[in-house]
Structure 1
Amino acid sequence: MSNYRRNWVAGGCYFFTVNLMDRRRSLLTDHIDLLRDSVRRIRRLHPFHIDAWVVLPDHMHCIWTLPDDTDDYAIRWRLIKLLFSKGLPKNERLPAVRRRRSERGIWQRRYWEHTILTAEDYARHVDYIHANPLKHGHVARAQDWPYSSFHRYVEQGVLPPNWCGDTDDLTTAPD
């Protein structure tokens, strides 16, 4: 079994990329209310601050800041994935290994995590998140994608409504 290195920082700020196992499916946007409810329920049990988030049909990116007394983002992701999966009908194709382990075929097992350490790194990742629907060709303007914290940034006066980002420079995170 692989030993993945994770950076555990109590109260840390992290960027995440989480993917569906089958990247051709659009479960995340098709079932956005289930995803939102799953996140809400887990935040009540295991608090964290959502700094930025975008949900695309097959993957999502977000930045979380954890409470000062914890570094355990893994339990939060495990439970969000579990609640979301339990709310979906069981109609996905399962590889033999997942059938043997009684697993669902919804999520990739791993996720990408990056510890945010500087204000510049934070700003670059927020821009990456908000420009991601443009990068993938879903919309021509960030304001047209409904599943993004971009709208909160506009409401708070942090970004103008016509901000669209420069997708050529936003290669800091994998998709």
Structure 2
Amino acid sequence: MPDYRRATTPGATWFFTVNLLQRHGNDLLVREYPRLRDCMLRERCRRPFSVVAGVVLPDHMHWLWRLPQGDADFPTRWRRIKTDFSRGLPRTERLSAVRQARGERGVWQRRYWEHQIRDEDDLNRHIDYIHFNPVKHGHAAQAMDWPLSSFRHFVAQGRYPANWASPVEMQGAGER
């Protein structure tokens, strides 16, 4: 088995992509959003972290987290969130022989993708990516239309116009 190593910078800001194992046609994260939200809140109480931005789509999610100074342990946080979420679901998913032998569930992909944010430009690019993702995947006509996103919070703070990533706004951007 490969020795997978993650970066361990205490107090850093991280971008994550976390996927369901069976992505095609799966809307589990939207259907079970209250459960997911509760699992994340419980973990934030156990091991604090700040959520900078996030979006939950039917089959995957993206998050920007800032960890406390001196703390780099996001793997434990993700393991607990994924485990807590899976435990509350009925066992209806298909399992490979390997997962069956290990006593694992077949809800999540084993790994997730993380990226340490390098600077303010990198942070802003990832915030844009998060908020555009429902539009990119065809779940919303514009960012404001997707309810499971931090986009509306950013609009309320004045960081985005409400029509950001809308067809009208995108058309105007192409004419510049």
Partners of 1:131 and 1:27 in 2: CA distance: 20
Q: Secondary structure at the match of 2:154?
A: helix
Match of 2:125 in 1: 124
2:153 alignment partner, SS class: helix
Alignment of 1:71-82 (within 5 A): 71-82=72-83
Q: Residues of 2 paired with 1:51 and 1:158: CA distance? A: 13
Structure 2 CA distance, aligned partners of 1:152 and 1:2? 40
Match of 2:61 in 1: 60
Q: How does 1:22-33 map to 2 (within 5 A)?
A: 22-24=22-24, 25-33=26-34
Q: Give the whole-Å Cα distance in 2 for the aligned partners of 1:156 and 1:90.
A: 41
Pairs aligned (count): 166
Shift of 1:27: 0.8
2:143 is matched with which residue? 142
| Match of residue 170 from structure 1 | none
- Matching residue's letter, 2:86: S
CA distance in 2, matches of 1:4, 1:145: 34
CA shift, 1:5, in A, is: 2.8
Higher-Rg structure is: 2
* The 10-residue stretch of structure 1 (50-59 or 153-162) with the greater mean CA deviation from structure 2: 153-162
Q: Which amino acid aligns with 1:8?
A: T
Secondary structure of the structure 1 residue equivalent to 2:165? coil
**Letter aligned with residue 11 of structure 1:** G
Q: 1:36 maps to what in 2?
A: 37
Q: Which amino acid in the other structure matches residue 18 of structure 1?
A: V
Distance in 2 between the 1:128 and 1:3 partners?
30
1:8-60: CA deviation from partner (whole Å, max 9, x where unpaired): 11000000000000002111001000000000000000000000100000000
Q: Secondary structure at the match of 1:9?
A: coil
TM-superposed CA distance for 1:66, in Å, is 0.1
Name 1:9's counterpart in structure 2. Answer: 9
Q: Distance in 2 between matches of 1:5 and 1:69?
A: 19
* Identical positions, percent: 54
> SS state of the match for residue 82, structure 2?
helix
Q: Which secondary structure state, in structure 1, belongs to the residue aligned with residue 106 of structure 2? A: coil
> Match for residue 21 of structure 1?
21
Instruction: Report the TM-score when normalising by structure 2.
Output: 0.92
Any stretches of 5+ residues in structure 2 without a counterpart? 171-176
CA distance in 1, matches of 2:92, 2:64: 31
Q: Where does 1:95-110 land on structure 2 (aligned, <5 Å)?
A: 95-110=96-111
- AA at the equivalent of 1:12: A
Distance in 1, matches of 2:75 and 2:37, equals 18
Aligned-pair RMSD on alpha carbons?
1.0
Greater than 2 Å deviation, 4+ residue runs: none
Matches within 5 A, 1:79-94: 79-94=80-95
Deviation at 1:87, TM superposition (A): 1.1
Which stretches in structure 1 are left out of the alignment for 5+ residues? 167-175
Kindly state the Cα deviation for residue 125 of structure 1 after the two structures are TM-superposed. Answer: 0.4
SS of 1:18's equivalent?
strand
Q: SS of the residue aligned with 1:60?
A: strand
Alpha-carbon shift at residue 137 of structure 1 (Å)? 0.7
